[in-house]
Amino acid sequence: MITFDLVVVLVVILFILISLYKELIGATFTFVIAVVVLGFFGILTPREILSGFANEQIAVIILLLLVGDIIRQTAVVEILFDKIFKSAKSYRGFLSRMTLLISGFSAFLNNTPLVAVMMPYVNSWCKRNNISPSKFLMPLSYAAILGGCATLIGTSTNLIVNGMVVDQNIIPGLKSLNIFDFAFVGVPMIFIGFFYLLFFGEKLLPVKEDVLNDFSENTREYLVEAEIIKDSQLIGKTIEEAGLRNLKGLFLVEIIRKSFKISSVKPNVILQQDDLLIFAGDTGTIADMVNSDLGLRLPSVGMLSKKKQTEVVEIVISHNSTMINKTVKEIRFRAKYDAAVIAVHRNGERISGKIGEIVIKAGDVLLLFGGADFISRSNHALDFYFISKVKDFQRLENYKIWTLLGGTVFVILLAAFKIVSLFMGLIVLIMVVLAMKITNAKELHKAVDYNLAMIIALSLALGTAMIKSGAAEIIADLFITVFIPLGKVGLLFGIYFITAVLAAFITNKAAVAIIFPISLTMSVNLNLPAMPFILVVSFAAAANFMTPHGYQTNLMVYGPGGYSFKDFFRVGFPLTMIYMVVTVAILSLMYFM
């Protein structure tokens, strides 16, 4: 029966899908609007809206992020990486070590900072061995995804599903998932994915010029602006006379003169004072422009160039950054981070105009000119990740390192054997870490991803609304009608495929929020075990390799690797299909046979 509540819920779901696909207002605000509408029409009570914030899994996600950030700040992972990758000599040797190591770490640590720490190693090794980083950066992301899917705590998507399991009221007595419930599919897929990347990756992965260091073949991608100052030697000269057509590592894209643009820059164009020259070029040449004697200045740098301690660094914008959809000028980098944006690179897209007017997108690579306070101010930044290896890390005594690592492993084991809950174990671990002064309590809150916590909590509320309104049951019956001719195995294939498509083109959190209540309702209506219908949603949402937007680590390597959407689809689609077949086969054998 069609009710008003049902119509509202379906309209809200449609709004979420459109908003996230079109990137209209950001994921967090999209969910806020959706849940507020559901609350306004009385579909959700205030208690139901707020209940997600009291869900233990959200707290566990936050605590895991804190522990992961502490480990990253102490350089434990970097020390290990130094020892392991120093002796790698061949393509397959480096790829093998990277894939297995990152997969193993990602099963127990947040995979986003792991990828961020590993990216400089990939770039530096590729420089030494004259190999394109595009041969490694996509496998790096895939390794992080493969490892994260192997345990409950490996990825936030699995924890969201567990939160929904605990929060649901369809199946009384349904218990929380165990840490290693995901291992039966996740661990075999780590090795299957490893061999896939090892034997097929080299053939399928593209060879791209290093977009961070060599733009001689692709000079229209990294944008920097320079202004002709008063008394400049360039004033009155043509482009050709000034030698601006033959600058090493730079290409003159356009000139902005007062209120109009000169986009087709011819050799006989005469330069004037205050002309804004838009160049594309490599990082080294751009950095040299800061103190050049050509009579050019970078407007965004300003007084930063007068400081005694400065540096040029490269960053990539994170998938949930607060900077997304803001102009460079609106972000106020200098006030917030003691740094100025001097260049922008957007993969596969031609951008033009003034730097300050460029609207930032997830995956953009920015070149920053930073002052003395830049490192300390950006130490816990969630808005971006470093590509260049420029961060200072705190070096700890050995006993503190082993306490941190050993404590993390011990807490996970206690939770796995159900001796102590993961929540309480992590709380105690963080208290010990603070007592030993391994990290600063005042800085700890900066590592919390509040946007992620908000999305998860509101996703739980959305799931409740879908069940209450009957939307989950109606859509579940539709799924059953379509896929039941294929049998129980066909149902799992159908759920996996639809969830994977949604995750690839919106977000995996939204895919879980929409499909989980539908999948669970299907198991109830057909009187089938709930576990395979729970796990298939989690694997389909998290193990997404097809698109750069399918997972946050894909987006991190998208720009630095110089990849196109087709590159991800060519390499990631077969791996996604392999993951689907293996997942459905193993879950069917475990629960339907």
Segment 369-423, tens digit of pLDDT? 777 677 777 766 778 877 765 444 455 677 887 888 888 889 988 888 888 888 8
* CA distance linking residue 194 with residue 468, whole number of Å: 43
* CA distance linking residue 346 with residue 73, whole number of Å: 28
Residues 6+ positions from 185 with CB-CB distance below 8 Å: 149, 535, 539, 582, 583, 586, 587
Do 51 and 460 meet the contact criterion of CB atoms below 8 Å apart?
Answer: yes
Is 222-386 a domain of CATH 3.40.50.80?
no
pTM above 0.85, yes or no: no
Count of CA atoms in the C-beta half-sphere (13 A) of 310: 20
* Ranges of each domain in the chain: 4-55+449-591, 222-386
Do 318 and 119 meet the contact criterion of CB atoms below 8 Å apart?
Answer: no
Mean pLDDT per 10-residue section of the chain, whose length is 593 residues: 88 90 82 93 91 82 82 70 76 90 88 79 79 90 94 88 81 82 95 94 77 39 72 84 69 77 78 81 55 64 51 77 86 81 72 77 81 71 70 62 85 87 91 85 75 83 88 87 88 93 85 90 90 94 87 83 87 94 95 85
Count of CA atoms in the C-beta half-sphere (13 A) of 264: 0
* CA distance linking residue 17 with residue 27, whole number of Å: 10
- The pLDDT tens digits for 509-566 are 888 888 999 999 999 888 999 999 999 999 999 998 998 877 888 888 887 788 888 8
* CA distance linking residue 92 with residue 481, whole number of Å: 47
pLDDT at 42: 92
* CA distance linking residue 201 with residue 203, whole number of Å: 5
Tokens describing residue 491: 């149902």
Distances (CA, A) of 223 to 251, 272, 304: 10, 21, 20
Find the length of the chain: 593
pLDDT at 496: 94
* CA distance linking residue 391 with residue 367, whole number of Å: 15
Segments in 269-421 forming alpha helices (H) = 283-289, 328-331, 333-337, 374-377, 398-416
Do 207 and 132 meet the contact criterion of CB atoms below 8 Å apart?
Answer: yes
pLDDT at 249: 61
Question: Which has the closest alpha carbon to 504: 404, 572, 455?
Answer: 572
Calculate helix-pair angle for 530-542, 487-505, nearest 10 degrees. 30
Tokens describing residue 317: 């914008």
pLDDT at 285: 56
Tokens describing residue 577: 């299909």
pLDDT at 380: 66
Residues 6+ positions from 523 with CB-CB distance below 8 Å: 171, 529, 530, 532, 533
pLDDT at 353: 66
